[in-house]
Amino acid sequence: MPSLNLTNALAKLPKAELHLHLEGSMEPATVAELAARHGVTLPLEVIEAWYDYADFAGFLEAFKWVTSFLRAPDDYGLIAERLVERLIQQGVVYAEITLSVGVMLVRGQNPEDSFAAVHQAAQRARGRGLKIHWVFDAVRQFGPEPAMEVARWAARFRDQGAVAFGMGGDELAMPTAEFRGVYDFARSEGLHCLVHAGEIGGPQEVRDAIELLGAERIGHGIAASADPALIGLLAARGIPLEICPTSNLRTGALATLLAKPAAGIEDHPVRNFFERGVPVTISMDDPAMFRTSLVAEYALLPGLGFTPEEIARVARRSFEAAFVEEESKRALLRGLDEAASALGLV
């Protein structure tokens, strides 16, 4: 299939997005608008400069600064509405969107009010063919007690679409074992369990996320490529990796993993994972901050050796790995299979 036709097919293909931070979807123009709401005038070029950073630490600082203008529930509602529009335009029919509830709490915000605003956006999206669930995310470097508070909030809103508890931030800041109690609690409340691991940390961080915390999916996990036994474990247990190729490039995570400062997207290990039987899914992570889209992420796969049929299989993995009730999952998979066939991908 010619590349242009393939790109068009990928745009039309129904897709699931499983690793997406709401706050990281804020375009510079939206940041300027939010800042103005709160009495701060910022030239667009000043904001855009924050979207350029040299490494993972720089990205975290940029994320912290950009999200500092999320100060009221209406702010969260606005960025949720705008993200919904972009997801629908990209053919996304199911999304699990991560909320940085740990950040809300440290800033003294009420998660109930902010969640009400984004939940309304999700309800409206459903009428337009986009089903949204939520992941309540803790920040590792804040410690286990704040993480437990996030887990309690997630449990409180389970009936309103909060399907999972996750943990991001600096994975090297605190030992994984310190969060076992938090994950035990989340599981006891019927929440699915996610962990960012193996992004800037090593293979052991991925193994600990699985063995100590019971992670059902791993955010990023690219460091597993350095440990054949761990790759085998992921494949044998069917634990999906939420792969975000452009994110890994922009944060320097890929360069760090490979000890190759000039690492390019062609060096990404996603193809190796796929060939070794690891369930891989494709995601945007923080689309505005990485200047990407889900269609753009999928469009990288042919250059990494994926055939159209294999790309359709990766898309299917995303639905299979989704935390959605089985009846809905079967319907989503039928829709994907029918579209993939009609678009000539299989």
Q: Active-site residues: which are they?
A: 199
Buried b (16+ CB within 10 A) or exposed e, 164-178: bbbbbbbbeebebee
Report the residue count for the chain: 346
CB within 8 A of 330, min separation 6: which ones?
Answer: none
Q: Which residue has the tokens 């190796």?
A: 272
The pair of three-digit structure tokens given for residue 207, joined into one six-digit string: 């193994």
Residues 137, 149 contacting (CB under 8 angstroms): no
The gap from C-alpha 24 to its chain's centroid, in whole angstroms, comes to: 10
Please give the full DSSP string across 189-248, using - where no structure is assigned: TT-EEEEEESSSS-HHHHHHHHHTT--SEEEE-GGGGG-HHHHHHHHHHT--EEE-HHHH
Taking the CA atoms of 304, 310, 314 and 317 in sequence, report the sign of the dihedral they define. negative
Burial class for 120, CB neighbours closer than 10 Å (0-12, 13-18, 19+): middle
Residues 299, 7 contacting (CB under 8 angstroms): yes
> What is the enclosing helix (H) or strand (E) of 19?
strand 15-21
CA distance 182 to 257: 29
Residues 241, 278 contacting (CB under 8 angstroms): yes
